[in-house]
Structure 1
Amino acid sequence: MSSGPLISIVLPAKDQAPFIDDALVSLRQQFQDPTALQVIVVDDGSSDGTGELAAAHARFLPHLSVLRNETPTGLASARNQGLAHATADVLGFMDGDDWLARGHLQQCLSELRRLDVDFVRTDHVQVKGGHRVLVRAPQARRSVVLDPRESILPEHTSTMVDYPFAWAGLFQRRLVDRGLLEFPPGLFTAEDRPWIWRLFLQATSYAMIEAPGIMYRRGVSTSLTQIYDERQLDFARSYLMAFEVLEADPEAGRFWPKMARQFLAVAAHHRTRREGMDATVKERQTALIRSVLERIPRAVLAAEFKRLDHRRRALLGPVLPNGVRKGKVAA
């Protein structure tokens, strides 16, 4: 038997009663020794008994704890709350409506130890109904030590900062000590954008490994990606926080085109969702996107807008700062 958990998994869950048993049963199948795993479920204001269902797994997971928030704090704050209770030297995240293939965490831990990197990243399997699709992370080099900063570029193709899923990998505790695993508190959506940028700008090493054992449900009605209220506007606040991370970097100019292009793509996506929003939320979305665009260096914004496809230019043209759409950039 182990003297303490090898991995701490933080699992925030709000109203996940239909799925939480699948998640926790899969965690019970990760190690032969059940004490190797600490599971911290953060019941974030559920009203459907999610916390009680999770607690019933304690006899199979000796290091299981359930933290209860009477009112929802949001995914970012719930993850931070769980991190504060994690005791293992290796940490990971999981969502309450996902599940893992048998032995997935054991495989990831072995690779993390073998390569001795700050963190490892994995592919995942997207599940929608009975249909499954393997989603590969945008890094072709596998099972070798890589520099995270060099995986941010090039700006015009998908890179590792476009794969922001916190649950797709494992992390050394030394990243917690450096403040690189904490999420921006209070965000209900897009909390992973400033998080992934800080991680890849400031961590020392990582590896992409062949371990596609995460089953990620899509199309769940309770997912915030399916909701069209004020919480969806957090993406704008999220990118302002990401901008602050980048602005503090000594090579900010090198990475601004990538950051700008990424925000333009995300903003265009949110513009396509306007039909599902009420008038007030639409107005706030427009104002917030415009305010974020104002923070991007004008020459960078003009260049990246020009490179967009016609559809995205049409969506974003009405919210651009004066002069950018026509290529008139102030000196």
Structure 2
Amino acid sequence: MTVSAPDLTVIIPAKNGAQYLGTLFRSLERQFRDGERAQIIFVNDGSTDHTERVLEDHAGVFDDFTVIRNERSVGLASGRNMGLREARGEYVVFLDGDDWLPDGQIRTVLDAARRLDVDFVRCDHTRVEGTKRELRRAPMAIRDRALPPRAGILPAYDSTMVDYPFAWAGIFHRRLLDNALLYFPEGFMTAEDRSWIWNLHLHAESFAVVDSPGVCYRRGVSGSLTQILDVRQLDFIRAFEGIFDLVAEDTFADLYWPKATRNWLAILEHQAKRFASSPADIRAKFASGARRASARVPFDVLREEFRRSRPDRQALVHRYLPQPGLLVKDIVK
């Protein structure tokens, strides 16, 4: 007898998140209607805390619960890819182990994806820092309507959907998986979703943004890579090299280069401030990688977006760009 595919696959990679997993699993239990079938894939990414004990406590709650165990951590990107290779659901949802779902979150985005018949649906989220809660809206005013994904890229000078890369803020039809559009850049420890979201908006056929309760996303978690400054944070450079490759190969590259370049200069400024106090060897890797990535941008575009930048940004990033003397001379004029 042929068994039909689950309605949904939920992929959760996590390392040493035991203290948060109970909250996540309890919130996940409340997401599904009677008769809906969910495949839960948990990637235990080299945990050394009591994650295994928490998994044992909750495994019986879900009818279809798979644990993938990594002896050594492979990171979020590769962990998600491991889950994707085992996914059987019609739709896919990503979660991080330290987040949780308000009631109705999955039902809302799943209903919208089916009703609108789109490749993927994006939604707002709630940023959680301690006891503070702040709603962060996905940067798209048009809601609850099927749209071409490229509508989420421009304009260059406003925040758009490619500036909102969070993989857990939405739901994805498995046709994106079958077309290899859901996989993340293998081996990335950070910034894995930046080129990923550009790839979706350039190559998927349809998407929508809807109002929903929104994933509760923890910030400031001790041990999170967002709180640690080391060479793993340099993956943002490789991420933008991936974005630049996608743009360069696109038929409408001239249209998208200003957006990609402006994003790069903004992130470069932010990271230059962060790495300013890092050890000399890491600063050297940052500088060489940043110059390498900057050189991939057509110089006339880079020159124009640099000219449009704030003076404080110009002062900070020019040393990481090709022909910095020429760029500064342009500003002096």
Q: With the length of structure 1 as denominator, give the TM-score of the two structures.
A: 0.95
CA distance in 2, matches of 1:262, 1:212: 28
Shift of 1:179: 1.1
Which residue identity is paired with 2:256?
F
- Kindly indicate whether residue 329 of structure 2 is the aligned counterpart of residue 326 of structure 1: yes
Which residue identity is paired with 2:180?
G
Matches within 5 A, 1:170-249: 170-249=171-250
Sequence identity of aligned pairs in percent?
46
The match for 1:252 is: 253
Work out whether residues 301 and 324 of structure 1, in 8 Å CA contact, stay in contact via their aligned partners in 2. Answer: no
Shift of 1:326: 2.8
The match for 1:99 is: 100
Work out whether residues 168 and 214 of structure 1, in 8 Å CA contact, stay in contact via their aligned partners in 2. Answer: yes
Cα 1:279/1:296, change in 2 over 3 Å: same
Q: Deviations over 1:136-194 (max 9, x none)?
A: 01101110111111220000110000000000000001001111100000000001011
Which residue identity is paired with 1:161?
V
CA distance in 1, matches of 2:226, 2:94: 18
- Kindly indicate whether residue 269 of structure 2 is the aligned counterpart of residue 268 of structure 1: yes
Q: Which runs of 5+ in 2 are unaligned?
A: none
Which residue identity is paired with 2:111?
S
Work out whether residues 103 and 213 of structure 2, in 8 Å CA contact, stay in contact via their aligned partners in 1. Answer: no
Q: Deviations over 1:66-107 (max 9, x none)?
A: 110000111110000001111111001000100001121011
Paired residue secondary structure (2:330): coil
Shift of 1:10: 0.6
Work out whether residues 305 and 313 of structure 1, in 8 Å CA contact, stay in contact via their aligned partners in 2. Answer: yes
The match for 1:162 is: 163
CA distance in 2, matches of 1:326, 1:23: 54
- Kindly indicate whether residue 70 of structure 2 is the aligned counterpart of residue 69 of structure 1: yes
Shift of 1:35: 5.9
Shift of 1:277: 1.6
Moved more, 21-30 or 310-319: 310-319
Paired residue secondary structure (2:211): coil
The match for 1:300 is: 301
CA distance in 2, matches of 1:69, 1:18: 19
Q: Deviations over 1:9-34 (max 9, x none)?
A: 11110111111111111111101338
CA distance in 2, matches of 1:199, 1:17: 32
Which residue identity is paired with 1:139?
M
Work out whether residues 55 and 66 of structure 1, in 8 Å CA contact, stay in contact via their aligned partners in 2. Answer: no
The count of corresponding residues between Structure 1 and Structure 2 is 327
Runs of 4+ in 1 over 6 A off after TM superposition: none
Moved more, 56-65 or 29-38: 29-38
Moved more, 236-245 or 140-149: 236-245
- Kindly indicate whether residue 143 of structure 2 is the aligned counterpart of residue 142 of structure 1: yes
Q: With the length of structure 2 as denominator, give the TM-score of the two structures.
A: 0.95
CA distance in 1, matches of 2:295, 2:4: 53
CA distance in 2, matches of 1:225, 1:276: 16
The match for 1:132 is: 133
Cα 1:257/1:55, change in 2 over 3 Å: farther
Paired residue secondary structure (2:327): coil
The match for 1:279 is: 280
Which residue identity is paired with 1:5?
P
Q: Deviations over 1:282-326 (max 9, x none)?
A: 111011111111110000001111111122112102222112333
Work out whether residues 169 and 214 of structure 2, in 8 Å CA contact, stay in contact via their aligned partners in 1. Answer: no
Work out whether residues 34 and 60 of structure 1, in 8 Å CA contact, stay in contact via their aligned partners in 2. Answer: no
Work out whether residues 101 and 215 of structure 1, in 8 Å CA contact, stay in contact via their aligned partners in 2. Answer: yes
CA distance in 1, matches of 2:250, 2:191: 21
Q: Which runs of 5+ in 1 are unaligned?
A: none
CA distance in 2, matches of 1:66, 1:144: 36
The match for 1:109 is: 110
Shift of 1:56: 2.1
